[in-house]
Amino acid sequence: MMHQQIHLGARQLVLLFWLFTASCGARGEIRIFDYEVVNTYPHNTRFFTQGLLMHEGYLYEGTGRYGESSLLQMRLDDGEVLKRKALGSRYFGEGITIAGERIYQLTWRENMVFVHDLETFDSVDSHYIPTEGWGLAWDGEHLIVSDGSDQLYFYDPDGFREVRRLAVTVEGRPLRYLNELEYINGEIWANVWTSNEIVRIDPVSGEVLSVVDLRGLREQTIAGGNDAVLNGIAWDADNNRLLVTGKLWAHIFEIELRERN
């Protein structure tokens, strides 16, 4: 996920326009979901959110920017930081995920994946990655990595060996700028960078199954800068709730989805 905001290319804009103007009945089986905010929680406007997840009652966040990147464990209700580990100033932190007793954390352009102990945040390993690192998720077997393209990469967590790649498409057309990832109930959810959309992807075919339209959500918070775009998806499996936020946002939102007619 790049640290400076850019404009989406014309092709990407066409794809997103298609998603939100097409009739589901007329254009296939892609489902569109709107949202309702049911709870809000505090979020530090200095945190440049790159990865977000809930695990056993705690919120974990990976933040970016050179000299500011870190790994955090927090309480959701009040935003208090319980544990923090700073990355070195040469690293731009990106997506995070938990697999077993380890937290994996990507870097943007430094080709490194850091592995931390879940309990202590101590460093336990690191791996080379040949692409940029943007988003990261765990499907119970493989680590899933996005690099800002239309590709998702599946890695074995032991040794970080690439197992397969998946091209993400909308009616056969590539969908680029896939960013922060979350694996929810058999689907890969991805922020589309600089947009207000989350896409839900079939992990076998790569087809976009549905889209969550989060337009208007940014206007319900305070944004801490020009780069304060939507980014951050956390699924709280213990409480069956969906949390979303953005870079430098003052709030994390718990939302419920409703399918658009």
Per-residue pLDDT of the chain (261 residues; tens, 9 = 90+): 544 444 444 334 444 555 555 434 444 589 999 999 999 999 999 999 999 999 999 999 999 999 999 999 999 999 999 999 999 999 999 999 999 999 999 999 999 999 999 999 999 999 999 999 999 999 999 999 999 999 999 999 988 999 999 999 998 899 999 999 999 999 999 999 999 999 999 999 999 999 999 999 999 999 988 899 999 999 999 999 999 999 999 999 999 999 998
Give pLDDT, residue 19: 54
What's the CA gap between 99 and 31, in Å, rounded?
30
Q: What is the CATH number of domain 29-259?
A: 2.120.10.30
Structure-block tokens of residue 40: 């809000």
CA 129 – CA 215 distance, rounded (Å) = 33
Residue 28: its pLDDT value, please? Answer: 58
Q: What is the pLDDT of residue 23?
A: 39
Residue boundaries of the structural domains of the chain: 29-259
Residue 99 has what pLDDT?
97
pLDDT tens-digit map of 15-45: 455 555 543 444 458 999 999 999 999 999 9
45 burial (CB, 10 Å; 0-12 / 13-18 / 19+) is middle
Radius of gyration for the chain, computed over Cα atoms and rounded to the nearest angstrom? 17
| pLDDT tens, position by position, 157-179 | 988 999 999 999 998 899 999 99
Instruction: Determine the pLDDT at residue 171.
Output: 84
Q: What is the pLDDT of residue 224?
A: 83
